[in-house]
Amino acid sequence: MSFSKSLEFGGHALVWSGDWTPEGARKAISGAARAGYDYIEIALLDPWKVDVVLTKELLQEFNLRAHASLGLSASTDVTSTNPAIVAKGDELLRKATDVLYAIGGTELCGVIYCALGKYPGPASKENRASSVAAMQRLADYAADKGINIDLEVVNRYETNIMNTGLEGLAFLDEVNRPNAYLHLDTYHMNIEEDGMETSVLAAKDRLGYVHIGESHRGYLGTGNVNFDAFFKALKKINYQGPITFESFSSEVVDPNLSNTLCVWRNLWHDSDDLATKALQFMKERY
């Protein structure tokens, strides 16, 4: 079964903190609360290192919810034809699901269906089938904990499985699980889509999660993304789900994710100003 979603605005933890140490977690959660967000999106790249008790206490202290995202690596790539690598991917995804469940979250999103990075060639039928099977296993595991999985469509330099929303919907057809949804990101859509509306309108109630990011990953409205068209499309389908502001700068660095995403530029210095203005920008349009 699928699990209910509600319209809510959140911020990615990397807007405030590059790690999830006790200090980093407090900085990120307090920052998201201070800016007025409903939830924080935590990057569970290494869920074994997350202090679940502390995270829960901080979320309660600041009256904030949490969802989670991650991307796989070459050693956990569930598109692999090596069963040992796929097993490692399954293990990571189950652990991330466990952590999310423990902190009360209901949405596991991101590039959870392949390694996050540039592949040397197109995906084979075997690669795709392995990914589909892994997502079926994950969806079933997550369903037992009341969690939805949201598969993020990203650009060609970060996956060879699906680069447009329409390709993502075709992939979801193969996964065929009621708690598996499409996850769209305006940063990636700006690179790959024929405009900002087509995939949203095609997805309808299969759109389960949204990332709002500018073309250069900085302040919203200062790049090339047509946000007015995107939010107009969200209104047309009456989207009711999480909307996360996502922005990266060399001001805040996660050693692994920042390098994977090629975050070389310092696009902002003031996390609070960035986050507050982003929330206002999104609410003015939706």
Q: Is 152 a catalytic residue?
A: yes
- The residue type found at 96 is A
- Catalytic pick among 41, 107, 152, 214: 152
CA distance 269 to 96: 30
The Cα-based distances of 42 to 61, 69, 106 in angstroms read 17, 6, 12
Residue-by-residue pLDDT tens, the chain, 286 positions: 667 788 999 999 999 998 999 999 999 999 999 999 999 999 999 999 999 999 999 999 999 999 999 999 999 999 999 999 999 999 999 999 999 999 999 999 999 999 999 999 999 999 999 999 999 999 999 999 999 999 999 999 999 999 999 999 999 999 999 999 999 999 999 999 999 999 999 999 999 999 999 999 989 999 999 999 999 999 999 999 999 999 877 666 666 766 666 666 676 578 899 999 999 999 999 9
Query: Active site includes 214?
Result: no
Judged by DSSP in three states, 247 sits in: coil
Instruction: Give the Cα separation of 193 and 209 in Å (integer).
Output: 17
State the catalytic residue, choosing from 107, 193, 214, 246.
246
Q: Which residue in 194, 222, 227, 191 sits closest to 210, CA to CA?
A: 227
The residue count for the chain = 286
